[in-house]
Amino acid sequence: MHTELRQLLQKRLEVIADHGFRDRDPDAHLQALIKVSEEISAYTQAHLAEFDGKLRHYLANSSFQKALDHLS
């Protein structure tokens, strides 16, 4: 369930962990992080009623690792 959200959360972690990208092009790295964060927000708003209380809490507080762990 919520495969797309899980993929977005994983993608965000991958962008954060890509230090080579960050070092080569900090502006593009930041834009990639902003883009995936906006995608997470959009998905969250579209599916909020489907989430249990814990997942809503994690997403509302930007506890994305906890949200990913909760989905696993």
For residue 62, what are the domain limits? 10-71
Flag whether 45 is in a domain: yes
Flag whether 1 is in a domain: no
Q: How far is CA 37 from the centre of its chain?
A: 5
Flag whether 40 is in a domain: yes
Q: Are 70 and 54 in contact (CB under 8 A)?
A: yes
Flag whether 50 is in a domain: yes
pLDDT digits (tens, 9 = 90+) for 57-70: 999 999 999 999 99
Flag whether 58 is in a domain: yes
**How many domains, the chain?**
1
Flag whether 21 is in a domain: yes
pLDDT digits (tens, 9 = 90+) for 3-46: 999 999 999 999 999 999 999 999 999 999 999 999 999 999 99
Q: Are 23 and 41 in contact (CB under 8 A)?
A: no
Residue 1 has pLDDT above 90, yes or no: no
Flag whether 36 is in a domain: yes
Q: Are 62 and 36 in contact (CB under 8 A)?
A: no
pTM of the model: 0.89
Flag whether 26 is in a domain: yes
